[in-house]
């Protein structure tokens, strides 16, 4: 599977994003590292096959390749 995570962070967070996507896919709750708000997965992105995980405040916004 080809995951590409487009964030400001380095590729060190690559595996973090994969785990994040796994958890969200399972319906588990994932919290924002900064505000501790619950991240939601938004599938209404311009590109098909992508989703955006974000918190209500917007401090976390991670683009996930859904495959």
What's the min distance (Å) between Cβ of 3 and Zn ion? 22
Answer for which of 20, 24, 32, 64 binds Zn ion (CB under 5 A) is 32
Residue 51, strand partner residues: 64
Q: Which residue has the tokens 């973090």?
A: 16
Instruction: Check residue 39 for interaction with Zn ion (CB under 5 A).
Output: no
Three-state SS string over 26-59 comes to CCCCCECCCCCCECEEECCCCCCCEEEEECCCCC
Q: Which stretch binds Zn ion (CB under 5 A): 7-15, 23-31, 41-49, 50-58?
A: 50-58
Q: Which stretch in 5-13, 18-26, 41-49, 51-59 sits in contact with Zn ion by CB under 5 A?
A: 51-59
């Amino acid at each position: 599977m080809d995951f590409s995570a487009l964030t400001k962070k380095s590729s060190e967070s690559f595996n973090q994003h994969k785990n994040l996507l796994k958890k969200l896919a399972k319906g588990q709750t994932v919290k924002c590292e900064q505000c501790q708000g619950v991240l939601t997965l938004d599938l209404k992105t311009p590109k098909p096959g992508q989703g955006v995980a974000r918190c209500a405040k917007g401090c976390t916004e991670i683009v996930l390749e859904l495959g």
